[in-house]
Structure 1
Amino acid sequence: MHSEKQAPVKYYVGIDVGSASVRAALVDEFGTVVAHADRPIQIWEPQPDHYEQSSADIWAACCSVTKKVVCGVDASWIRGVGFDATCSLVVVDKQFQPLAVNCEGQNYRNVIMWMDHRAVSQVDRINATQHRVLSYVGGVMSVEMQPPKLLWIKENLQESCWDKAGYFFDLPDFLSWKATGVTARSLCTVVCKWTYTSDGGWDDSFWKMIGLEDLVKDKYEKIGNHVLSPGEPVGKGLTPEAAKDLGLPEGIAVAASLIDAHAGGLGVIGADVKGYNLPCENEPITSRVAMICGTSSCHMGVSETPIFVPGVWGPYFSAMVPGLWLNEGGQSATGKLLGTRHILETMQAAGHHINTLFLCGGLSKNPLFVQMHADITGKPVVLSKEVESVLVGAAILGACASGDFASIQEAMAKMGKIGRVVQPNHEHKRFYDKKYEVFLKLVEHQKEYRSIMNSV
């Protein structure tokens, strides 16, 4: 008898940059997290509502956690790497050196965090234009998006930052540049946070109208004129320098990245549900909604055609699943469960057909939280096998870029694994229906109070 040499397992690295820490995971081709590490990153708050980070500190943390998770694994089995990150704004000069985003001139603090609210007056002026690109963000741009922050830099740090800037990156794209030396941007970041539209790219009239016409001049080189779908390979893979930094093989595939919440959606929404007796079993992926429950909650739903939902971000084309439009509802406070039912019903009324919830993130570990989601919405809740769905999502990007899977959908089905299913308990239906009725009344009253105060 002779034993055949077993083919080695293929591995992918997912790197997730959150607000306060960087995490990495080594994930195998079946979606199992084999190793996992994290490291805190620094946040500066020079004044209220100003939150800054350092891209050098973030990259150093990426390198440290990645080296930890790949330690002891045969490097030739690692096939690809994917990044996801918060949608913070990174500023570098023409030589890619960090540029201060603060009045103190501290160059290493070159990142305005996603949660920074310094650009309130800028976002109000942008929203007052009522430009057509705003219809893709639920009609109103958030202060946490990038155009208001760019306008703030121009108006407050013209000489020290704006005039010297070579590139403005969304953090996920800064990471793929750092890994490959290629300045390509992900469709996810530019569409969700920068007003790039899938039907027309950048809109010159928007940037001119808000006073940032300088970005148009150089064919948008500073904010990106080479845009890739999430999971597409970037350049020729890892540069020798980045490979050494990360402890990974030179030249392995690096994927166009995702915003962190979208990576969580990618990690759960495409799982194979055969045999679980779920309403979405023989339905397209558009019958599912992914909920990423951390400090805030994100609701991700996809559709074949663009659906405009009042008060919900999107529709964004190919921003999470290539070829499909994404709508993204959000709650800044995760506990408001009647908030969730309202978002789902608003999406349904606009044209979504959702019958199953897919949950991931820290709070999905709480059985009461999960059961209440099922009871309040009346829909079954699917929990992913790996709680770290965001890291699995980032690894799926790397798997896709490596060419080991025919498409991102195939990678999602093979690597996104179901842990358990929670069915709604209909005993409480009447109670929650009444409670929801009260909630809707409160929403109406809130609108009335606001209009009274606005007429002062």
Structure 2
Amino acid sequence: MSNAVYFVGVDVGSSSVRAALVDNRGHVHKTSVREILTWKPKYNFYEQSSENIWNRSLEVIKDVVSGTDAANIKGIGFDATCSLVALDKNFNAIAVSDSNNNDQNVIMWMDHRAYNEANAINKTNHTVLKYVGGKVSLEMQMPKLLWLKNNLSEKWSQYGHFFDLPDFLTWKATGSMSRSLCSLVCKWNYECSARNKQGWNLDFLHEIGLNDLADDNYFKIGNKVLMPGEYCGGLTNDVACIVGLKTGTPVATSIIDAHAGGLGMIGARAQGIDSDKSSRLCLICGSSTCHMAVNKDAVLVEGVWGPYYSAMVPNMWLNEAGQSASGILLDHIIESHPAGSALLKTKSSGEIRRHLRDILLEMAKKEGLSSIDFLTKEVHVWPDFHGNRSPLADPTMRGMMTGLTINSNEENLAVLYLATLQALSYGTRHIIDALIQAGYKPFKSLLVCGGIIKDPLFVSTQADAASLPILQPHEKDSVLVGSAILGACASQYFPNIQDAIHNMGGTADVIQPDSNTKLYHDKKYRIFLKMYQDQLEYRSIMNSQ
């Protein structure tokens, strides 16, 4: 390893911090992980600690660089969830709820407290909203900032700095107050219609009641904006000493975690699969799932975030769709079922999923079915247990199930689990339809990464439901590869991100859809769409006089 060139990728997810030592071919040589704290002070409130996250980040970086000559580690890239970090005027953590616990100074991406604020912003119909599918999401930062101002008014003047979590990490590493274009355009309603036309929209801030954020040249929210992968500063001496790296090691401008996953795998190569980036839809599958599509032209898609210029791949427009609950929904299905809660006493989540797959195979064999897919003929699920992010952009949507019985054995759980996997896959198909109807050319492949893809049934079901081949990168940690690609660019080892994507994207396995199940999934998809219409009809009935 002494003559090799390495980069460090750091990924802050919803429940843990991870780091990887990645070489210049995109191979992961070493990883480390640490759990992070989460508080749930009220229903739909999710809070974390920026200091806890940073300390865990230092630990995992130190772990992965240990034993490697620091001279061979050329750059560092950070990605993180799009959570909101609040600091006071002295850069100390400050509470984001009436708990007054200053350790709880991060409002997580999945926090849904700002429902009323999001509605108020959307009622303005401001022109900037066209870049978020017509509606700002309550998961974004402007609704959360407005919530803080409305609900903690006595504390509002004490807030000195707001960071998106990825930018907080680069500030801690370098002291640079710069912000990433990725975070700002995707989550802060920062305008960027091209490289030379970008900035905060003061009229928008004034109309939603946050014009004070413009004070001192937008000092609280950032006035220096860099592209993901641009050099944002060198590692400070203090941080370098803690982790065992050289002072001044280049640190890249950060990126949102899902976007890092897209960056890390969109260049993956597979025989017989078109390499055109605009022909690929990237699925980054964790607690939630993000669907990333890029295009050389700007495409406005109702209910889908974007188009964002250069937010993931430079000089291409990004549309970002997604599902608010995917991995956490599957966990909920298992945990809330009598058979699942019993299994959790003796088996891990991964073991349970393997056990359920075995049960499904045995059931299909007994019933003489050619595919386990056919076991869900009578069971249908609408998966929006935590609202719909895309393409309906409706956080009030609720989950639905039909075909339930009083049977609570493991076979019943297995079928319900499969029906939920299928529902999530039809959600992907729903997003694909919206993108194509708005102007995207038909996609030729899906790429997948993230925790859920450890279940091969999830992957094959996505392929079958969409009738598209899936590319599954051989390097399993695409998110960490993506953040390492940023570090490579900051170090100028590669001249640009396009070259880094090509050289570090690696290869992938191809999972082809089962053509024998296409008609079945077409029928179930029709029912999926009807369940949405049914839910609207139920609301109409209950809201009628």
Question: Would you call these one fold, judging by a TM-score over 0.5?
Answer: yes
Q: Aligned equivalents of 2:525 and 2:98: distance in 1?
A: 47
Q: Aligned equivalents of 2:114 and 2:298: distance in 1?
A: 29
User: Deviations for 1:212-265, whole angstroms, at most 9, x for unmatched residues?
Assistant: 111122221111111111111103x11112212332211111011111111111
Alpha-carbon contact 2:2-2:69 (below 8 Å) kept: no
Match of 2:319 among 327, 335, 338: 327
Q: Aligned equivalents of 1:445 and 1:103: distance in 2?
A: 39
Q: Does 1:50 align with 2:50?
A: no
**Change over 3 Å in CA distance of 1:178–1:73 after alignment to 2:** same
Q: Aligned equivalents of 1:113 and 1:246: distance in 2?
A: 26
The 4+ residue runs of structure 1 with deviation greater than 6 A are: none
Q: Secondary structure at the match of 1:432?
A: helix
Alpha-carbon contact 2:290-2:320 (below 8 Å) kept: yes
Q: Secondary structure at the match of 1:234?
A: strand
Q: In the alignment, which residue of structure 2 is the partner of 1:407?
A: 496
Q: Tell me, which stretches of 5 or more residues in structure 1 are unaligned?
A: 1-5
Q: Aligned equivalents of 1:333 and 1:59: distance in 2?
A: 26
Q: Aligned equivalents of 2:175 and 2:242: distance in 1?
A: 14
**Change over 3 Å in CA distance of 1:242–1:455 after alignment to 2:** farther
Alpha-carbon contact 2:485-2:497 (below 8 Å) kept: yes
Match of 2:305 among 301, 307, 313: 313
Q: In the alignment, which residue of structure 2 is the partner of 1:266?
A: 263
Q: CA deviation at 1:400?
A: 1.1
Q: Aligned equivalents of 2:150 and 2:323: distance in 1?
A: 31
What amino acid is the match of 1:142? S
Q: Aligned equivalents of 2:440 and 2:51: distance in 1?
A: 42
Q: In the alignment, which residue of structure 1 is the partner of 2:21?
A: 26
Seq. identity, % = 54
Match of 2:34 among 26, 33, 39: 39
User: Deviations for 1:83-141, whole angstroms, at most 9, x for unmatched residues?
Assistant: 00011111112221212222233222211111222222211211111111111111111
Q: In the alignment, which residue of structure 1 is the partner of 2:172?
A: 178
Q: Does 1:291 align with 2:283?
A: yes
Q: Aligned equivalents of 2:98 and 2:116: distance in 1?
A: 18
Q: In the alignment, which residue of structure 2 is the partner of 1:93?
A: 88
Alpha-carbon contact 2:14-2:287 (below 8 Å) kept: no
Q: CA deviation at 1:318?
A: 1.0
Alpha-carbon contact 1:62-1:246 (below 8 Å) kept: no
**Change over 3 Å in CA distance of 1:47–1:444 after alignment to 2:** closer
- Two-structure CA RMSD over aligned residues (Å): 1.6
Q: Tell me, which stretches of 5 or more residues in structure 2 are unaligned?
A: 327-420
Alpha-carbon contact 1:84-1:260 (below 8 Å) kept: yes
Matches within 5 A, 1:301-380: 301-334=293-326, 335=421, 336-353=424-441, 354-380=443-469
Match of 2:183 among 162, 185, 189: 189
Matches within 5 A, 1:405-444: 405-444=494-533
Q: Aligned equivalents of 2:57 and 2:64: distance in 1?
A: 11
Q: In the alignment, which residue of structure 2 is the partner of 1:225?
A: 223
TM-score w.r.t. the length of structure 2 is 0.79
Q: Secondary structure at the match of 1:316?
A: strand
Q: Secondary structure at the match of 2:192?
A: coil
**How many residues in Structure 1 have an aligned counterpart in Structure 2?**
444
Q: CA deviation at 1:416?
A: 1.6
Q: Aligned equivalents of 2:455 and 2:499: distance in 1?
A: 30
Match of 1:8 among 3, 9, 20: 3
Q: Does 1:84 align with 2:173?
A: no
What amino acid is the match of 1:148? P
